[in-house]
Amino acid sequence: MSQTSFDDEELFGEAASEMRETVESALADARAALPTADAVWEVEADNTLGVLNSLKGALDTGDAAAQLREAKKQFVIGQRADAFEDADDLEAEIAELEELLGDIEEAHESVSGLASTLPGLRGALEDAGEESDEDEE
């Protein structure tokens, strides 16, 4: 009958390996939740507001932020516990995803701002056009 091993070093190594897998899995899930390049680039609409609304929807990051947060949380715990032999690749991927997510969120805010401003601008231009027509009469 084999004896179960509860050696601290072995358990720590196993836990560190599992933690790295958790970080890698959360990073993969975060990447999968990001919009695709085609979804952002190729939009179909009948007018500018439709394009902006379509783009705004395409720039939705879904659960990417939550997954990135989970990855970073597990990474920080593992790093502070000195559980990773080589964590440079994880750290670089986290930083890359944080930057990309920030860029997408910034673009989403810009598009949202334009989409909310455009109807008012259109109305103001229509009013200005009507006033111009009245002045010509």
| Sequence letter at residue 39 | A
Listed in sequence order, the residues at least 6 apart from 69 whose beta carbon sits closer than 8 Å to its beta carbon are: none
> What confidence tens digit (pLDDT) does each residue in 76-97 have?
999 998 888 889 999 999 999 9
Residue pLDDT, tens place only, 33-44: 999 999 999 988
Residue 131, SS3 per DSSP: helix
Tokens of 78: 């593992």
pLDDT band at 100 (very low <50, low <70, confident <90, very high): very high
d(CA 104, CA 36): 11
Determine the average pLDDT of the residues in 40-69: 93
Distance CA 52, CA 106 (A): 14
> Within its chain, how far is the Cα of 42 from the centroid?
19
Reference 101, options 35, 39, 22, 44; nearest CA is 35
The pLDDT value given to residue 29: 97
